[in-house]
Structure 1
Amino acid sequence: MEKIYNFVIDILNKAIKLALTFLCLGVVIQLLIDDELFNWDPIGNIQNSGPSFIGVIALVVLFLLFRKK
């Protein structure tokens, strides 16, 4: 059971890292070309999300701080 749990956690970590890489790449490219990227507007989505996005970022930061201790 522990092997399955570790496998699932490993897959989720890799998927999250890949998604964050694409998000960061999309933001940088959008800043460089100053236009949407294949009808994808990551900067606009982040700006339009408002306070809810800030709350999610705060939760992620707190989780990462808790996890390192």
Structure 2
Amino acid sequence: MCESTAYLITPEGERKVMDYVVDVVPKENGKLLLTDLLGEEQLIEGMLKEVRLLEHKIIIEKVK
């Protein structure tokens, strides 16, 4: 499968925000729309920092 786990980096550290992410769409005002394998959506404030395809990891940095 090709789904990944999304993590949000904040000054407090890294935390998981969503498992089984299959789609990341940039939205206005510094937000990203994440969609998982079952179609659940989550809007995250932040910018895409890194995607590690071999590790199935999406890193999002909190907008300051």
Q: TM-score, normalised by structure 2?
A: 0.22
Structure with the higher strand share, 1 or 2: 2
**Bigger relative contact order, structure 1 or 2 (CA pairs below 8 A, ≥6 apart):** 2
Greater CA radius of gyration, 1 or 2?
Answer: 1
Q: TM-score, normalised by structure 1?
A: 0.21
